[in-house]
Structure 1
Amino acid sequence: MPSNNLEPQESIQRRGYVADFLGTCVQPPSLEPDIQSDAVLWEGKEFIPYTHFSLSMSKSRHFARWVAWNIDGDGMKLISRAGLSFSKDPRLPAEFQVGNELYSGNRLDRGHLARRADLLWGELPEAQQANRDSFFYSNITPQMDDFNQSSQNGIWGRLEDALYEDVDVENLRVNVIAGPVFRTDDRMYRGVALPSEYWKMLVFQDQGVLKARVFLLTQDLDQLRAILALDEFRVYQITLSELQERTQLLFPPVLDLACAMPAMRVFSERQPLESADDITW
């Protein structure tokens, strides 16, 4: 039976993303100098900790630039989301967070960046707090309903599951770093610039070797006005250099080798992933 998560708030310290979770230190990305002043600071720091994840917020875009989280596949709990609601993080200025005003009366989902199910591990009180923390709007971005909803069974929602199915992940432990791509031509909607691309990096140990794989999702936001859409999003496997160029984020040197891939065609000639079988792990 799912465990009840409706107890009062625990006072568990929010440690956030743990860099040495895999035995090799993998720091989250840092901002290029040109955008460092855009970071929302918490206690003077850019990295904002939650339970099992951390993130960096953008003042100008009001969404997280990146979210980094740890997954302990051996310690997962089954916890209901019943009774939980989305809310702004009271530790952060409300004006830098987008709330429910963006999502009512349209096809936009409140999409978790750090996937809720990934965070529900550890001792039960800790897992329950991670469950609640995942519903802060700082961990939410607008995502078209058909790629965010698990019922769609798309590649994007199954990346972590596909990794566990296809790779002998050491100790069932994975780091994930993900976020939106902020473009100058992103569509404005209700006063908010909507990201049209999202990225995700999976970092893991495979037979003692640190590996990382990067993925990009593009969504067609013109479908906000459509009743039926046949091709609203695509998922691509990309390189670390392509990710850094898109995001203005700086990733630690340890990921240069971990992300090494066979030669890939230029992005404009690359085919989207049709199924998880197309992923190069």
Structure 2
Amino acid sequence: MAKQSSRFEYFKSQHIPELTVLQAALSDFSYDRHAHEEYAFGVTLSGRQDFFSGGQFHRSPPGNVIQFNPEQVHDGHPGDGSTLGYVMLYVPSAQLEASFADAVGCERAGGFRSSETLIADPSLRHAILELARLVTDQVGSRIDQEYALYQMATRLVQRAGKFQPGSTVSRPDALLQQAKGYIHAHLEADLSLDEISQAAHLSKYHFLRLFRQQFGITPHQYVLNCRINAARSALEAGVVPNEVAFRYGFVDLSHFNRRFKRIYGMTPYQYQRSVTN
């Protein structure tokens, strides 16, 4: 019997801007190490989900929740020889942090980060699956989806025990954030390591060491990751893949296709068709 190929389906919410749902079945696919700009919440449905993140190797069995903060580097692949089935929500920071603020009764909740990556929590799992169902089946109203998102945020705040909107940023962290800001502002330029390290006011080699130690990927991998994420947004806006590839510095469409597929499981054209139909 031929081995089943992997499948990926993306769905955009009709009610909550930029909210995306992924339904995936992986049998012969491994994600490259990458990070998303959004919060990501997944539920392992079948098989076992193995991945590296936060300096640790994790194994997620069926029924388990996986949570990634924005820009939390991770990879992923099936872990036990069987097909891995899972659902993942990608929630923009502004949307989720508004729900965090409502949950804790304050005006703003920017910077909220969960310290947990693997979570065994039936209430949180139910809220994630309910929101995914509403989006993928295109049922319910905006308030239904917002309520499911609010339930997710409330449960996360409950698990945290108390709300801590942010912590003091060390000088090295602040310098690395300057470098990140420079990268995001120049994604369409031909960036060099010298330029990025100068933006962080660090020597090139000190910068390289600090960056990899802090984020788990090299500056080059981070630039590529940011370009892929920006390309995804352009594809969702209807820009044709050839133009997106040229805009973000890929050698050609074939190179763009390979890089994009290692993170999203399908070619840019396939992704664009799936979320704009």
Under TM normalisation by the shorter chain, which class is it? under 0.3
TM-score (norm 1): 0.25
Structure with greater proportional helix content: 2
Bigger Cα Rg: 2
